[in-house]
Chain A
Amino acid sequence: MTPSGKTGRLAFRNARLIDPASGLDTKGGLLVENGRIADIGPRLFNDAEPRDPEVIDCKGLVLAPGLIDCRVFTGEPGSEHRESLSSASEAAAAGGVTTIVTMPNTNPVIDEPSLVDFIRRRAQATAKVHVAPMAALTQGLNGEVMTEIGLLKEAGAVAFTDGDRTVANARVMRRALSYAATFDALVAGHAEDPELVANAAITESEFATRLGLPAAPALAEAIIVERDIRLVELTGARYHFGQISTRAALDAITAAKRSGLPITCGVAAHHLLLNELDVRSYYTFRKVKPPLRSEADRAAMVEGVASGAIDVIVSSHEPQGADTKRQTFASAAFGAVGLETLLPAALNLFHDGQAGLIHILAALTSTPARLLGLQAGSLAKGMPADLVLIDTDEPFVVDERDLHSRARNTAFEGRKFQGRARMTFVSGACVFTRGGKDAR
């Protein structure tokens, strides 16, 4: 994993420690030694000021495991002008994200062991946070021939996905799932029937009709969700729906989970907070894939997070430039950057009383770590000291000029949020401190 190990000790005191993995939520302190968590507890540093070279007084702010964002598109390799691993890691650090899980949708596609190796080396050399690459499920993302899942896994791929593309051919998908199951590899699918959504820019609805935009029915998602659930039943593969956006998909997944199938799913922050009407008059920064849905579907996503039926919250960070977004809505590219708004957007659910803080943080830390088998997402002794200090109350307005990402296409421009990362640590090293109000 990326940054160089830290020598020496770092002490956090007066923190509200939240560790979703163990259910811990208490006031206390935490000690880092050599980049790992050496001690943690409610009475740590209570009585005596620690004599460590560096002490951080958290002043009651939340100290939690650094976030793991399971769905991040970067432009490296191939489109570094949009986002490199380095610039994505800057955005991640500013958002309290200490591990980004990258999608293989680059140029070239990450479908070879040497390319997985390339991503890991580039990340080690240039990125501030950990980078865990997913590899392609099919060669060239063409949905025709499966990749070398065994070798790719050995090279360090944490899961297999065609990113934002659906494997249209059920026979190919069945074989890929069967084969992946041999290696206990996790497959992350994208659920949109490609023929139904061809050329569509938005969800089919009265609103889409008004705008006169090419649209596809929301059930394009459930059709693939239902298909893949059946294939999981047949093959026994571990399967994760990278992101869902509709009640129909949620209901199908909830039922599949109840019957014991090894299925999980994620939701993008923008599908929790925005609905189709937020596209307003052809606002291309809110053209995302899958598209924004009805208010009923948005509410279902919030409900899904609250009930735990949705396992993880992701940013679906997808950098786009002026060339791809300064277009008419139908011609503009899909995607929105989200690494820096993931935590504030998720905290919105907490402030609205829709889910508890520890529950929301679990969907951003311990659960993705467990799904992907990462040594992260926990405050247990001996774990890497990937930490985020969160001010859950700090109000701010999203301004694209403040973003650390190379791309500016946020779906939340102008949105008022409450709560964000104050400091971020990767393997014990501070990689981000919010300017001005230093917590030290």
Chain B
Amino acid sequence: MTSANRSPILKTSHLLGIEGLSVPEATGLLDLGESYVAQSRASNKKAEALEGRTLINLFFEASTRTQSSFELAGKRLGADVLNMSVKTSSVSKGETLIDTASTLNAMRPDILVVRHQDSGAAELLSRKLDCSVINAGDGAHEHPTQALLDALTIRRRLGRIEGLIVAICGDILHSRVARSNIRLLAMLGARVRLIAPRTLLPAEADRFGVEIFTDMKQGLAGADIVMMLRLQLERMTGAFVPSSREYFRFYGLDREKLSHAKPGALVMHPGPMNRGVEIASDIADDLDVSLIAEQVEMGVAIRMAVLDALARGLARNETEPRGML
């Protein structure tokens, strides 16, 4: 179906964040993602949307999950995929991110997927490169494909997003996943709640059209979806919370706390999980409650959708008249 319908979905040639995305663009991506779920389940998973295109995965932070998801998405759409993992230590101080960008630019990729530890890195690259740039996570800023795959997961399970109560729990302060999800879910009409100790809530979080809770039971009351965030181990030892056992006691998701949510509430986690820190194992493994595996599946589908949408933009730009020269 996708090769037949090639109407444009995105107005911009990059996906740098949920901010700047319109509701029709977001739902367009979700709809397209839906079609790729079916294709990914078929025996022939291949499509041609990216045939002849070069996709570079440039990861400055290790991420098996996101990188392989983009790799698979690119390959299923027929692109040549190159994975580049740049350890921060090996980027000498002499080479700036912009130098790296011009090197890559000379290889003439069509789409660059970038993950970087600093906020704004994808934006910076998009200004310096000729290709389309997808932000696969920049600092504590945005991770748009994660938010889109979460929205697709929710929509497929519950049939809608509007009016749902979604509780996002954990390390909001450092989380790009939380920022992108807050933006997207609020845009699509969900009621978003944030639950965290004060040390893990960003400044002025209440200005984002969300409700803030520091008590898990109150925050979960009536929630349709419980979205747990990963707590980085190095942030648990007295820096932001005193210990992992104290964190689990007050903010780890177990059966008792989950019982305060709406009956039948579903649990999500962007992975990788710290079992026994932010989520109890029996919840993570309970297929009636946990959407975690489904999130991974939706991840490939939504990334295929994003790649397809950007490729349509590339084709559009290439066929446009180039002026008088």
Contacts and interface: CB of A to CB of B under 8 A. Distances in A.
B121 interface: yes
Contacts of B204: 205-206, 209
Interface stretch (A109-117, A210-218, A334-342): A210-218
A208 B179 CA distance: 12
A213 B119 contact: yes
Contact of B119 (A212, A326, A327): A212
A210 B141 CA distance: 7
A212 B203 contact: no
Interface string A196-228: 000000001110111111110100000000000
A212 B123 CA distance: 13
B119 A209 contact: no
A12 B7 CA distance: 72
Contacts of B124: 282, 328
B279 to A, nearest CB: 24
Given A326-B98, A328-B124, A211 B118 contact: no
Interface in B186-242: 202-205, 207-208
A352 interface: no
A279 B316 CA distance: 33
B203 A204 contact: yes
A204 B96 CA distance: 26
Contact of B120 (A204, A209, A282, A326): A282
Interface in A274-306: 281-282
Contacts of A282: 119-120, 123-124
A281 B120 contact: yes
Contacts of B19: 210
A331 interface: yes
Contacts of B138: 212
Interface string B80-118: 000000000000011011110000000000000000101
B151 interface: no
B165 interface: no
Given A328-B119, A329-B118, A329-B119, A322 B140 contact: no
A330 interface: yes
A52 interface: no
B139 A213 contact: yes
A328 B205 CA distance: 24
A212 B97 contact: no
B71 interface: no
B120 A329 contact: yes
A205 B96 contact: no
A49 interface: no
Nearest to B101: A326
Nearest to B93: A323
Indicate the size class of the contact surface on chain A: 20 to 34
B116 A212 contact: no
A213 B139 CA distance: 7
A213 B202 CA distance: 10
A330 B119 contact: yes
Interface residues of B, number: 27
Contacts of A210: 19, 179
Nearest to B96: A326
Contacts of A322: 96
Given A205-B203, A282-B123, A212 B142 contact: yes
Give the interface centre of A212, A213, A217, A281 by most chain B CB atoms within 10 Å: A212
B123 to A, nearest CB: 6
A94 B198 CA distance: 50
A275 to B, nearest CB: 15
Contact of B96 (A213, A214, A323): A323
A211 B202 CA distance: 11
A180 to B, nearest CB: 36
B75 interface: no
Contacts of B141: 211-213
Given A205-B204, A206-B207, A211 B119 contact: yes
Nearest to B60: A328
B205 A209 contact: yes
B312 interface: no
Give the interface centre of A204, A209, A326 by most chain B CB atoms within 10 Å: A209
Given A281-B123, A282-B124, A328 B118 contact: yes
Interface in B55-94: 93-94
B176 interface: yes
A211 to B, nearest CB: 6
Contacts of A281: 120, 123
Nearest to A329: B120
Interface in A304-331: 322-323, 326-331
Contacts of B97: 326-328, 331
Contacts of B139: 212-213, 328, 330
A214 B174 CA distance: 9
A278 to B, nearest CB: 15
A321 to B, nearest CB: 10
A281 B176 CA distance: 16
Interface in B134-173: 138-142
A211 B183 CA distance: 13
A365 to B, nearest CB: 40
B140 A328 contact: no
Given A329-B118, A329-B119, A331-B118, A209 B142 contact: no
Given A211-B141, A212-B138, A328 B203 contact: no
Contacts of A217: 203
B94 A323 contact: yes
A328 B116 contact: yes
B172 to A, nearest CB: 9
The 3 closest A-B pairs by CB, nearest first: A212-B141, A282-B120, A328-B118
Given A209-B204, A217-B203, A328-B116, 10 more contacts: A206-B203, A206-B204, A213-B120, A213-B139, A214-B140, A281-B120, A282-B123, A326-B96, A329-B119, A331-B118
8 contacts: A206-B208, A209-B205, A211-B141, A217-B203, A326-B96, A326-B98, A328-B118, A328-B139
